[in-house]
Chains A and B, each alone.
Chain A
Amino acid sequence: MSRQSVPRVFSRSGTGFAVLAAALLALTACGGPSGTPGAKTYTIAFISQGTSNSWAAQLDAVARKAAKADGVKLVYFNGQGDATKQLPEIDTAIAQKPDAIVLVPLGGAADTGPVERAMSQNIKVILCDSTITSQNYTSLVTPHAETAAVPLAQWLADKMNHQGNLLYIGGLPGNTTTITYDQGFNSVMQKYPNIHIINGGNANYSISTAKQLAATAIASGKTFTGAWGVGGEAVTGLMQALIDAKVSPAPPIGGAAATNGILRLAIENKMEVASLQFPPTSSQVCIDTAFKAVKGETVPKSVNISELPQYGPILPPLDKYYKPQFSDDMYVGTDSVLTVDELKALNLVK
């Protein structure tokens, strides 16, 4: 660079140039993804479950925070809560040639092809919360039935004295999380032949559907000594149906992820509910795993998030877990990774 081309402010003195150079060097040193000068900024495509429910919204918020902390560029793809809508998003993401893809699969079988295409193009693929029908991925971050659903199902079976009618409200058919929870539930219940499972139908992760199914089952006149719902929505619908039908005492209920609302309903109506502290913070583990993978570090093929300290069964008494300052939609434990301000931005603070 000739001296004439140097901006005037710097041409008067070499001091300004030196300051700029030092500042640039400092910025490079601090802003790199791993703190290494000149390090590459990695791009991670986050193909989410999408704008479908509060779980997904919290999962997305945690993913964005984790990406910011790791210094990676996160490109967001919206699965819109539908496997068929998510598929083209995966293909679009692959076309952008990111360093890694973090995918929350909505259709285990449907997503297998695109994931294998991504792997063949040397894109690291981290499966988050749910799996596909192939082993051809980089890492799977998900709960395991043994550590997630089994303790809850065992608690419920014990509460039922291993006998009686159990009202079951299912999740979303084909969804791998539903399958995982069903496996855990069935592995326990098959030990107790005197527990008769009354299948109330699939709620498809909808509170209103769960309520309608449960209300119908309750109105049939059968006596239930226990109830099980796959997912927070199913459990909430079950509880609302029992409350509105004035079933007293309400049978013990087991189910999946605990929300603040489930705890509130249980405490206010003196119901016994066992749920799982299963905050949507798995996206943090997923992003961190993807970051390690793109840096060339070895990552485990399978990460069992239900063994992490943020996860675990929530059994009565529930008062110690309920946080009245947060809204019903907050999944128990989310406040361990998001600050109050971040929760407020998500409408999760009252």
Chain B
Amino acid sequence: MKPLDRPEPGFHLSAFAASQNRDDREPRPVSGSSSPGNPVRAPGAVRLAHESVVSTWLRLPPTVRGYGLPIGASLLVAAVVAVVEPGFYRPANLHVVMQQYAVLGLVTLGQVLVLLVSGIDLSVGAVMNAALITIALMNHYNENLLLLSLVLCILIGAGVGVTNGLLVSLRNVPPFAATLGMTACVQGAILVYTKGIPAGNIPTALRPIALDGIGIVPFSLLICLAIGLMVIVFLSRGSYGRTIYAVGRSPEVARRVGISTTAVRVSAYMLCGVFAALAGIILSAYVGYVDPAIGGTYNLQSIAAAVVGGVSFIGGEGRPAGALIGALFLLTVLNVTTLSSLNPFTQLIVQGVVMLVAVSLFHLVKRSSIA
């Protein structure tokens, strides 16, 4: 049972805000973990070592604990990478990583918002495809319509997001089914419109967004980080953030304190759609060619990045900064396995194992924090 499922009489939003971050709660005495009511089976020495580690961990400030694992994991990966694949730190490779990170980072930010309201969005890939097709077809013969096509991409993303949000909130369609259905609709619309053959052109004027930048930092990464900063600030400081967490933790309680859960959910899905459209625009600029399956793997990658970064599937838990670090972790693993020139099948195993270890570690540490 989540702490807010049973509100105290007189509960109001400010009280919720004060308790919205579970990691802010005072840690319980470590001795509780080895009390008779909560037996620990480890033998003496191991148990003491475990308790010492947990105790040290719990004494850290909440912010450090919140970001500790993703940052720690990233630092660990950075150290391992320096030994295993030093080519990773070549400026040219870092430039490529940043280009690819800008796309995954944006999609992950949107996915975080949806996950925080207990949802999931499996239509981000389709929105990215729609963005590319829109740009390619509107700029087929000349590039005068570039700006208009970009606005249309954002509107399509927002429209898909709003529809998802309304389906989930008003029709009580499970988020998985609603967004999967929306994927089919968007892909179907693309096929009807293009007859299965997406002709067109990615305007050269769009390409500097992804290819150029300041030094080795592409403009696309700056866009991603700027949006990421805004999301972090809005979620941690503003009332919007509090309502997002409130709806994710307990919609019923949120409703009782006067939050429009529908508006909050719809806004989260809408922002997710907009971010996916932006990611689609940036990826189109990066690829520079009409590929109707451009968003292919981003549904699962964005969810994986968010989960690795500490965002919970059950809603109301996690931070966008953690998810951004999770995305960096994921992309680093993908990049290093590619650089390693391993057999692609082996690459998949390595990626899978590293992901599983990261997620398991996160949950282990989180459980220790709550214990």
Contact status B198-A329, CB under 8 Å: yes
Provided the pairs A173-B345, A199-B341, A220-B93 are in contact, do residues A211 and B197 lie with their beta carbons within 8 angstroms? no
The CB with the most chain B CB atoms within 10 A, among A170, A220, A327, is that of: A220
Q: Return the contact of B287 from the options A208, A213, A328, A329 (Cβ within 8 A).
A: A208
Q: Min CB distance, B34 to chain A, in Å?
A: 47
Complex CA–CA separation, A236 to B198 (angstroms): 15
Q: Among the listed B90, B292, B342, which residue makes an inter-chain contact with A221, where contact means beta carbons less than 8 Å apart?
A: B90
Which of the 9-residue segments B10-18, B106-114, B188-196, B262-270 touches chain A?
Answer: B188-196
Interface readout for B74-109 with A: 1 if CB under 8 Å, 0 if not? 000000000000010010110110011000000000
Q: Are A329 and B92 in contact (CB under 8 A)?
A: no
- Report yes or no: B211 in contact with A244, Cβ–Cβ below 8 A: yes
Q: What string of 1s and 0s marks CB contacts (under 8 Å) between A135-177 and chain B?
A: 0000000000000000000000000000000000010010000
A87 to chain B, nearest CB (A): 18
**Could you tell me the distance between the alpha carbons of A348 and B297 in the complex, rounded to whole angstroms?**
27
Chain B interface residue count, CB cutoff 8 Å, equals: 38
| A89 contacts chain B at the CB level, 8 A cutoff | no
A53 within 8 A of B: yes
Q: Tell whether A215 pairs with B96 under 8 Å between CB atoms, given A240-B287, A244-B288.
A: yes
Q: Report if B19 contacts A (CB, 8 A).
A: no
B112: min CB distance to chain A, Å: 22
A54 touches B289 (CB 8 A): no
Q: How far is the CB of A344 from chain B (nearest CB, A)?
A: 11
C-beta contact mask, B317-345 vs A, less than 8 Å → 1, else 0?
00000000000000000010011011111
A-chain residues with CB within 8 Å of residue B283 when the two chains form the complex = 208
Residues in B with CB closer than 8 Å to A216 are 93, 96, 335, 338-339
Structural contact, A201 and B339, CB atoms closer than 8 A:
no
Select A201's contact among B100, B196, B211, B347, beta carbons within 8 Å: B347
Assuming A200-B338, A217-B339, A346-B195, is B296 touching A206 (CB within 8 A)? Answer: yes
Q: Are A346 and B287 touching (Cβ within 8 A)?
A: no
Q: Does A26 contact B (CB under 8 A)?
A: no
Q: Is A129 an interface residue (CB 8 A)?
A: no
Q: Does A57 contact B (CB under 8 A)?
A: yes
Chain A residues packing against B (C-beta within 8 Å): 51-54, 56-58, 60, 170, 173, 198-202, 204, 206-209, 211-213, 215-221, 233, 236-237, 240, 243-245, 261, 327-329, 345-348, 350
